[in-house]
Amino acid sequence: MVPKARLVEKRIERFVKIFQLFFQGDRIYSAALSQKLGVEIRTIQRDLEAMRKAGFPVNEIKKGCYSLDKNLFKHYEHFDDSELALVLAMKNAAIQLGPLFQDAADSVFNKLFRELAEEPLSPVCLQIEKPVLLDNRLFIKAVKAIQARKRITFTYEIYAPYTATVEPYKIIYFDGLWYLIGRDVERSANRTYALDRIKDFMVLKETFRRIPDDLDGNIWFSGERTTEVQILVDSDSAHHFKRRRIFPTQQIREEKKDGSLVVSFMVGNFEEIRNILKRWLPWIKILAPVELKDQFVDDMKAWLKWQKS
C-alpha cells in the first residue's frame, strides 16, 4: 500500500504538470494527460475538479477538453507552477477538513492575494523609473522596421538637428528612456538614439542583411570590446561587485587583504562605462587606462569649479 504522504506528493506533482501544460497552450485533454502521467482518466478529472473547487478558472470546453481562463487568473502571476500546485494542494486539504477550515483557508489566501495586488500592502516593492512618453506610432514603426530588416531615416534633434539613415537593430529601455540602437549608414558607425528625440521617421525600401548577434542590454553598442578598464573598489563597496555585475564584461581580478577589489571591464569605447562608473564615486578609483583616469579627473575638476561658482 502506498503511504498517504507519497499519494499527496504524487498529486502535487500532477498539479505542477497540469499547470505547466495550461501555461504552454490554450487547452489540455484528460485522455492524453492520463497516458502521459500514467494514471486513470478519472484521476485527472478529479484533479481538474479540485482545481475548480479551489478557485482556479478551469473550464470544460467539450468532453475531455479543458482550458484555463488566464484573463480571470488574477494575482496568480506572482507564483510559478510549483507554488500554484502547493496553493492548490493546501486549499484542497482544507476543503477535505470541512467548512470551518475551508473558510479559514479562503480568508488566508484572499489576504495573501490582496497584499500582492495592492502595492502599499505588499512586502515586496519594485520601483521603476517612469519612461519618457513616446509617440506609440513611432515605436510600432521602429519595431516593424527591425523585424523586416529595413533601413530607416529620421531627423535627430540633439544640439543641432541632423538627418540620419540607419539600419535599426534593437530597442532598449534604459534608466527611464527608450533608445534605438543601429548603424548610421552614412557615417559607417554604430549609434544609440533616444526615441523621444527622433522626428520625421520614415521606413525605406532598402533592406540590410543581418542584425549583429553581440548586442546586449547596454545602450552603448560598440561591436568588439577590446579595451580593458580597471578600477579599485574600496572595501565598504566590494560586496556589491561580488554579488552582481554592474557591466556585462565585469571580472574580479584581485581581492586585497584590506577587502578592496581590483575589477576589470572590457569595453568598445569609454562611453559604455563612463556614466556607470560615475555612480560609484567616491568608492572607486580608476586604475587604467590613464586616458580614462585623466578624463575623470578633468570632469571632477570642472564639477568642483562649477560647484564653487
CATH number at residue 258: 3.30.70.920
* Cα(155)–Cα(255) distance, integer angstroms: 48
User: What would the mean pLDDT of 54-66 be, rounded to a whole number?
Assistant: 81
**Does residue 54 sit in the same domain as residue 79?**
yes
pLDDT at position 128: 46
3-state secondary structure of 16: helix
DSSP notation for 229-268: EEEEE-TTTHHHHHHS-SSTT-EEEEE-TTS-EEEEEEES
**Does residue 14 sit in the same domain as residue 77?**
yes
User: What would the mean pLDDT of 56-68 be, rounded to a whole number?
Assistant: 83
User: What would the mean pLDDT of 51-75 be, rounded to a whole number?
Assistant: 73
Mean residue pLDDT of the chain comes to 78
User: What would the mean pLDDT of 92-116 be, rounded to a whole number?
Assistant: 57
- Whether residue 67 is contained in a domain is answered as yes
116 residue type, one letter: L
179 residue type, one letter: Y
| Grid-cell match 494514471, residue found | 39
**Does residue 106 sit in the same domain as residue 50?**
yes
Share of the chain above pLDDT 90, in %: 25
- Whether residue 30 is contained in a domain is answered as yes
Domain span holding position 303: 227-308
**Does residue 12 sit in the same domain as residue 113?**
yes
Q: Point out which residues pair with 171 in neighbouring strands.
A: 180
pLDDT at position 153: 96
How far does Cα 112 stand from its chain's mean position? 24
Within 8 A by CB and 6+ apart from 281, the residues are: 300
244 residue type, one letter: R
pLDDT-based confidence at residue 139 (cuts at 50, 70, 90): confident
3-state secondary structure of 225: coil
- Cα–Cα nearest to 198, from 171, 161, 151: 161
Which of 95, 121, 147 is at the close of a domain? 121
**Does residue 24 sit in the same domain as residue 73?**
yes
Which of 207, 241, 258 is at the close of a domain? 207
**Higher-confidence position of 16 and 151:** 151
CATH number at residue 180: 2.30.30
- Whether residue 286 is contained in a domain is answered as yes
pLDDT-based confidence at residue 97 (cuts at 50, 70, 90): low
pLDDT at position 163: 92
β-strand pairing of 65-68 with 261-267: unpaired
pLDDT-based confidence at residue 36 (cuts at 50, 70, 90): confident
Which of 121, 152, 183 is at the close of a domain? 121
* Cα(199)–Cα(219) distance, integer angstroms: 20
pLDDT at position 49: 84
User: What would the mean pLDDT of 178-206 be, rounded to a whole number?
Assistant: 88
* Cα(45)–Cα(213) distance, integer angstroms: 47
- Whether residue 82 is contained in a domain is answered as yes
- Whether residue 131 is contained in a domain is answered as no
Most confidently modeled range among 18-32, 72-86, 183-197, 203-217: 183-197
**Does residue 151 sit in the same domain as residue 117?**
no
The C-alpha torsion from 91 through 97 and 103 to 105, rounded to 10°, is -30
pLDDT-based confidence at residue 165 (cuts at 50, 70, 90): very high
* Cα(143)–Cα(197) distance, integer angstroms: 17
* C-alpha distance from residue 19 to each of 108, 121, 294 (Å): 22, 28, 57
- pTM above threshold 0.95: no
On the question of pLDDT at 122 being above 80, the answer is: no
Structurally, the chain folds into a number of domains equal to: 3
